[in-house]
A = this chain, B = another copy of it.
Amino acid sequence: MASLPNSQCMETSNSPNENTKPTINVACIRKCIKSMPKNLKSKAVETVKFTKKIGEDDPRRIVHSVKVGLALTLVSSLYFFRPLYAGFGQAGMWAILTVVLVFEFTVGGTLSKSLNRGCATLLAGALGIGAEYLANLCGDKGEPIVLGLMVFILATSATFTRFFPDVKRRYDYGVLIFIITFTLVAVSGFRVSEILALAHQRLSTILIGGATCILISIFVCPVWAGQDLHYLIAANIEKIALFLEGFGGEFMSFPENEDEKSITTDKDKSFLVAYKSVLNSKTTEETLANLAWWEPCHGQFRFRHPWGQYLKTGALATECAHHIKIIHKYVYLKPQVTSELIKKIQEPCRIISTESSQALKQLSSSIKNMTFPLPETETHIRTCNAAANDLKIILEKPYLPDQDHSQETIQLLFLASVLIDIVKSVENISVSVNELSQKAGFRQQNPKAEKQQHQLLHRGIVQPVNNFDISDNSNCVVIDVHKLAGGQETLAQAMEREKLETRS
């Protein structure tokens, strides 16, 4: 790992008066050796930093590692304690094998492998004993031939089933264990007479290993694949929302002076690339959904939560991200001249960007909080649709671009046509999230209090009340909005309280 004296230390002198043999530069080697501890140290520091980063990125990784260590140490005690060892003997090894091979990062992964291992062992064990019995009937000479043939046929056909997509997805590990167990039981039986006792010993140690894994996995800081999928989908929708927000708020507003431009470029642009992770999210989503399928109910997730609907929503989000990828290159498009047409296009584009961003944000938080989407989401989408219709009309009309800016106009028109697609995409996401909230039994939000306050603040006409008027018994009620906003009180309760206070 350390830097060894390299070819730089081997010098061929070019001067004709000197010896032309390559000479080893002693000073260089000395320097290399001297710098070795330093290089080693810097490598070590780098490794430590990288390790720290891996841990900090997702601290659950550290917890998982400790959990595996714990499970393995517990299971090793089968060897350490005399009474246990007397019971299981060398079969304790199967518990160790089981723990290492079965313990996965998520509960779903651990359950999937444990259940696969358990069921496959039972099934293959029974079949193996049956095969042993059959082979026994064929006499001493026939037995190895019949057993060999059976092992061959079973291994071949079981291996072939691993190419079936459904088997591959859910039972791949089970098929492997099935082949191993069948072969071991059928073949060991040829020598070991107490095959049933052995099978019992192995099964119980495998059960101990599997149970240890499942218990630790579920009860010590569990990592639920379902929960991860849930938050991944919500996060993906939010990333798209953030892009559209930035796109609509910042880039669709054409700065008129240079100062404004420089401010724009100084700002944090992370939201511009965040959506890119959504493009390649499909594999992760599918893996998580497969693992989540195995998980029991946890928190607000039922057993058989509609994970398929999450995949559908995720696929729609990915589709939307692909549309965004197309317009991404127009982020830096700032038309220099604001012609009549550009102005006409600009406004609906801005509306689509900001409103669909709002809708997506609400959908994302609705998933996160497991509540039905707010009715406002529908309003945002309706506004988007109206703007999209405006754009469609503009696109269908004949137009006369400015002489020197036809390219800009084309780009803007194209941008508009992609934004229309994005509106459709957002609408689809909304429909899918609504479906999800019904299938998954999300909570209905109680928007009453919020709505009333909303009406009071925005729609009602508030007449200014003079403080002096309150002193005499008028019907005026003064509500302290700060009090209301801070506490848990609803508007109705507050009005009641204020009335009582003024009366007393």
Contact = CB atoms under 8 A, between A and B. Distances in A.
A54 B164 contact: yes
A172 to B, nearest CB: 12
Interface in A294-320: none
Contacts of A92: 187
- Kindly name the residue among A66, A85, A156, A188 whose own CB sees the greatest number of chain B CB atoms within 10 A: A156
A48 interface: no
Contacts of A152: 69-70, 72-73
Interface residues of A, number: 72
A482 interface: no
Contact of A68 (B80, B159, B191, B326): B159
Interface in A132-163: 144, 147-148, 151-157, 159-160, 163
A414 B410 contact: yes
A325 interface: yes
A292 B406 CA distance: 51
Contact of A156 (B69, B90, B100): B69
A147 B76 contact: yes
Shortest 8 CB-CB distances between A and B: which pairs?
Answer: A69-B156, A65-B160, A65-B159, A80-B144, A69-B155, A69-B152, A68-B159, A72-B155
Nearest to A410: B413
Contacts of A183: 72, 76, 96, 100
B79 A187 contact: yes
Nearest to A76: B187
A403 B398 contact: yes
Nearest to A399: B406
Nearest to A413: B410
Nearest to A144: B80
A153 B76 CA distance: 13
Given A72-B155, A80-B187, A414-B417, 18 more contacts: A50-B164, A61-B163, A68-B156, A69-B154, A72-B151, A72-B152, A72-B179, A76-B183, A79-B190, A80-B147, A85-B191, A280-B282, A322-B325, A396-B406, A398-B402, A398-B403, A400-B400, A411-B417
Nearest to A405: B398
A361 interface: no
A interface majority secondary structure: helix
Contacts of A80: 144, 147-148, 187, 190
B65 A176 contact: no
Interface of A: 50-51, 54-55, 61-62, 64-66, 68-70, 72-73, 76-77, 79-80, 85, 90, 92-93, 96-97, 100-101, 144, 147-148, 151-157, 159-160, 163-164, 176, 179-180, 183-184, 187-188, 190-191, 280, 282-283, 322, 325-326, 395-404, 406-407, 410-411, 413-414, 417
Contacts of A413: 410
Nearest to A145: B80
Contact of A326 (B66, B280, B326, B403): B326
Contact of A73 (B62, B148, B191): B148
Contacts of A76: 147-148, 151, 183, 187
B191 A79 contact: yes
B69 A153 contact: yes
A398 B403 CA distance: 5
A76 B398 CA distance: 80
A176 B398 contact: no
Contact of A65 (B62, B96, B157): B157
A65 B69 CA distance: 36
Contacts of A144: 80
A413 B408 CA distance: 12
Nearest to A153: B69
Contacts of A68: 155-156, 159, 179
Contact of A96 (B55, B156, B180, B322): B180
Nearest to A64: B159
Query: Which of A62, A100, A400 has the largest number of chain B CB atoms within 10 A?
Result: A100
A282 B283 CA distance: 11
Contact of A397 (B70, B97, B406): B406
A187 B64 CA distance: 22
B96 A187 contact: yes
